[in-house]
Structure 1
């Protein structure tokens, strides 16, 4: 019995893919995605259901049509001469329109990423100038039967993650290119890990299927080892065999991109507030600073003021991916902009400003925020528990594993798999042989992961990058020490239990009014000790009149962290109504050891 792909049937019957999936759900038919196949019997049932719906809609519409026809002559007679008849009800214009998907292609070196991009560019882009489109903009638009698709021509997964590390989500879909004669390689695994960390839909393109030694089935089998199961094996991973040389399968790949974009329901309002991301920036000897901007929301116009990081500029000229001068650009449009005084970095977010004064205000505010953040970072470093994010019911420990041999990698992964529990999940995002790289640090920074090394150490340059990004790299020579570290990380993901611990108390003997600090209580510590930032409880007689924090402690004119029994001090609580004779009791929250 012949089978039909869901999206093909939807296209033939002229209905949306979402509608087709809704009908299949009603029939109780199981499927993985719109590229799954269904039986001929199911096809007939779908056709009958659509025919029945059409008949019901037609029947309901008939009386209305008749009534409308009957009312039309009167309406025309009543209308003044030259006045048009009432327009039919319009669709909801407030609905945000769809936008083109933005796609990035990643994979191992020499697996054909550039060749695939070149083939799509030559066949799908109306070239209006000779060659070198990517050298103009760093991205290009491909026109397909399903509409426009935008491809970002980036150097690889590290550039992709650099953009992600700055909080910008440029790509909607990631395509991982794998050579059919080579299968999974180290950079392939890294590219997959980076795409998963970015949480974007991923398609696999098995390239070079035209070669005699090509073995696509081996690639599919190897993918299952990474818990990526192709659709034909019962999973939900879309795998498309292609040849960048002959063009075989490229149309299918573009079709799958459009289907994925349709299911993702990508939308952007061209009339909304402008927002975009820098793809790349460079200095041209003749033109000056050129920046490639991906418009994500709203519309960009020539003469607009743009703010990137702590710099701003006015757009003097814009160029599209074909090298043509344009005056405006809507969502999902890559444009090259002339007007910045400094070269912006890839991944930096772009916003517009009303005028130059507003742009300067935004830049000044960002500079202040950066300085405040730097000062806070110097004073306090994040703990592992804080880096792993908010506590929830099931928490994940993200790890990147590096070891000296493949045997060590597999042994450690086996031990880690047994460490998982109902409350904590261990996610080994990337496991490889050799010392950690800057790419690993970028991935760890984006995914808030810890890098564990067994019998290998990071270079000085990589350690410096890791320190700058707040990424922990831990090296071990004994496997059980590495496992102990994992146990500590797991414990850090178990919700801690705290209890209040009494520190000491002081009696207020005089009040000092300070113009900046407010009321300072000149006190004598009668028991225990008082600490800065401890919890404070102020009692007057037998009544508690205030609960807050000790924000400052002084001995004479010096700020101190702690004052012991028998010493006088100045106590500054975040409350100005303290009185002589009050008792200030200090306490702190301490973690209770759990078995």
Structure 2
């Protein structure tokens, strides 16, 4: 659709750009920033017809007449065709009713069904009235709307009354629930799909080198060495079978996606250096894979090194309950070298074999759905998202709902940067056309049109906001009630301690607490501070973090607070065991939490002999209560904690002072108040257990 700049239209109309901007806003509800902004040609034509005609005619022609002239001819032919077909239909009806149906038909009420919004054109078409008549009525209501402009339900309802039609609001057939139900496919149309593989491992054990080696070995020679577009995933061919590799930064991204409900990995290749063995990051990756219940293939890398010791690696894996196949277990281990390409083909064969055992299937003939791998804002192209299609077929021109954003696919590229028109299950693509940048791990669904996608994205935003406010994570305080209600069958714990010996001791002690109602499971144990990674895993697995002689770092505290993950720290192992035991039988002593009531700023101080210092304060937020505990903050540092000895408004003693009011404050046992000090009022509230 062609567009015109504001200054060009102003020139044509013989008015200043400033006057035109005001006119557009006041009469047409079109917001433009400046004279260089563009407006749709259709809107420009309407404005020109309305105002140039008025300017030409010295008798000041009525706008409604201009509208009649502009849109009358537009719809005349269309209406004639409709009336002709309708007349024929009515004649058939009359014949079938013995000629008695004429008067009854004239009394039939016209009903317009709509969702939240409808365009003026759609409305006119539904009630079979000329566009000019509908626009005229809207003008009389004070609404300046072009043909393709949307009106809301309230406006449409009032318009319906004017035109003697009934307007009813219906729920969109394509609801969020419909999308979630669609996930449960019937097996009738499913077919085999490629496996999606994530490579994990310690930072310098050759994860990236292995991915590069696979890519170079399996990508066609014409493409190798060419500039490839990084979209966070790529597909390789192994003897006619496709495998999709996710090039994620590591287990943090893997778990972050899982915490958002996006279980996209079918198989994990765990890379372990043959000369180095299992490292803390390797053990963390194992914990994350086990929590996700994803099959693991171990690639024992760096076999070309003289110090390579695969048996030592297998022993360490056995200690993590991963027993190698050649040791009588069921974990596939493949010796490889990213440097010499040794074992790469065998590794890929094992992936294909594991995929066959998993019987991975999808239905390519349904609406597409999948997950965002990564996304960014590109200066030239706008929001760009890499998607993994998990079911159905995604095509250029499809409208999609992505998390809380939406869009219509303008262009699609494969992992080589080549433009493509469609992509089926397990295929990664990069797309353009979204309204905003989504988050990695967001799910996407194909919907019928862009309007539906936008409406659903808005509904989803509201739903996500509501769900976030009512998040119900497991905590020791309400563990007993959740067990009794059947919400919790397994209590997942993450243990962090100052020494490895403590981790092992605690793990065994906790797992002995398992009972019929609930199983206690330590999903990860490690040495050192409680980190962001621990909180991410706890959030994804609905776990509680227990720390011994260690504290969470600042990032961990912030994320735990935001995601409502419980962190408990202890000095003595016995105390933690007693707490878990008590929580399971509903006998845990109540905990206390601090609730900040309000803050007041000291604006002026008065020293009164035999009384002390009175501070003239202004309440910045919340409220100050007479019986609250308070702390004095100077440059955000706590310098004293005490209580209030008096709280006044003017000369009267008061119980509380709210935001925006001034008051006089005297503190108990503290007179060294200074201008700019903050007095923070708080109280300690008992956090009671939820009981049945």
Normalised-by-shorter TM-score class: 0.5 to 0.7
Q: Which residue of 2 aligns with 1:323?
A: 417
Is 1:338 aligned to 2:432, yes or no? yes
Q: Tell me whether 393-402 or 472-481 shows the greater mean CA deviation.
A: 393-402
Deviations 1:160-195 (A, max 9, x none): 111111001111111111111111101001111111
1:17-56 matches, within 5 Å, as: none
Aligned partner (choices 274, 292, 301) of residue 368 of structure 2 = 274
Q: Which residue of 2 aligns with 1:239?
A: 333
Answer whether contact 1:388 1:397 (CA < 8 A) is retained: no
Q: CA distance change for structure 1 residues 477 and 394 in 2, over 3 Å: closer, same or farther? A: closer
* Distance in 2 between residues matched to 1:286 and 1:371, nearest whole Å: 31
Answer whether contact 1:394 1:422 (CA < 8 A) is retained: no
1:109-508 matches, within 5 Å, as: 109-126=203-220, 128-129=222-223, 131=225, 135-145=229-239, 147-377=241-471, 384-385=478-479, 395-421=489-515, 424-491=518-585
Deviations 1:212-253 (A, max 9, x none): 000000010011111111112211111111111111111111
Deviation for aligned residue 1:210? 1.2
Task: Kindly report the root-mean-square deviation, in angstroms, between the aligned alpha carbons of the 2 structures.
Answer: 2.9
* Distance in 2 between residues matched to 1:447 and 1:388, nearest whole Å: 16
Deviations 1:5-49 (A, max 9, x none): xxxxxxxxxxxxxxxxxxxxxxxxxxxxxxxxxxxxxxxxxxxxx
Answer whether contact 1:127 1:322 (CA < 8 A) is retained: no
The structure with the larger Rg is 2
Answer whether contact 1:452 1:474 (CA < 8 A) is retained: yes
Answer whether contact 1:103 1:174 (CA < 8 A) is retained: yes
Partner SS state of residue 123, structure 1:
helix
Deviation for aligned residue 1:308? 1.2
Gaps of 5+ in 1: 1-92, 495-589
Deviations 1:106-128 (A, max 9, x none): 01110010000000000111265
TM-score normalised to structure 2 length: 0.55
Partner SS state of residue 326, structure 1:
coil
Q: CA distance change for structure 1 residues 205 and 380 in 2, over 3 Å: closer, same or farther? A: closer
Deviation for aligned residue 1:402? 0.3
Q: CA distance change for structure 1 residues 435 and 133 in 2, over 3 Å: closer, same or farther? A: farther
Answer whether contact 1:174 1:200 (CA < 8 A) is retained: yes
* Distance in 2 between residues matched to 1:393 and 1:359, nearest whole Å: 33
Answer whether contact 1:207 1:241 (CA < 8 A) is retained: yes
Partner SS state of residue 585, structure 2:
helix
Partner SS state of residue 361, structure 2:
coil
Deviation for aligned residue 1:391? 6.5
- The structure, 1 or 2, with the larger RCO (C-alpha pairs under 8 Å, 6+ apart) is 1
Answer whether contact 2:543 2:565 (CA < 8 A) is retained: yes
Q: CA distance change for structure 1 residues 134 and 482 in 2, over 3 Å: closer, same or farther? A: farther
Deviation for aligned residue 1:136? 2.4
Answer whether contact 1:306 1:312 (CA < 8 A) is retained: yes
Answer whether contact 1:451 1:472 (CA < 8 A) is retained: yes
Partner SS state of residue 255, structure 1:
helix
Q: Which residue of 2 aligns with 1:39?
A: none
Partner SS state of residue 496, structure 2:
strand
* Distance in 2 between residues matched to 1:379 and 1:422, nearest whole Å: 22
Q: CA distance change for structure 1 residues 389 and 347 in 2, over 3 Å: closer, same or farther? A: farther
Answer whether contact 2:414 2:420 (CA < 8 A) is retained: yes
Q: Which residue of 2 aligns with 1:521?
A: none
* Distance in 2 between residues matched to 1:183 and 1:315, nearest whole Å: 46
Deviation for aligned residue 1:288? 2.4
Aligned length: 407
Q: Tell me whether 364-373 or 241-250 shows the greater mean CA deviation.
A: 364-373
Q: CA distance change for structure 1 residues 346 and 389 in 2, over 3 Å: closer, same or farther? A: farther
Deviations 1:488-515 (A, max 9, x none): 3443699xxxxxxxxxxxxxxxxxxxxx
Q: CA distance change for structure 1 residues 149 and 283 in 2, over 3 Å: closer, same or farther? A: same
Q: CA distance change for structure 1 residues 325 and 463 in 2, over 3 Å: closer, same or farther? A: same
Q: Which residue of 1 aligns with 2:116?
A: none
* Distance in 1 between residues matched to 2:258 and 2:513, nearest whole Å: 30
Answer whether contact 1:309 1:366 (CA < 8 A) is retained: yes
Q: CA distance change for structure 1 residues 152 and 393 in 2, over 3 Å: closer, same or farther? A: closer
Partner SS state of residue 459, structure 2:
helix
* Distance in 1 between residues matched to 2:346 and 2:216, nearest whole Å: 17
Q: Tell me whether 93-102 or 264-273 shows the greater mean CA deviation.
A: 93-102
TM-score normalised to structure 1 length: 0.64
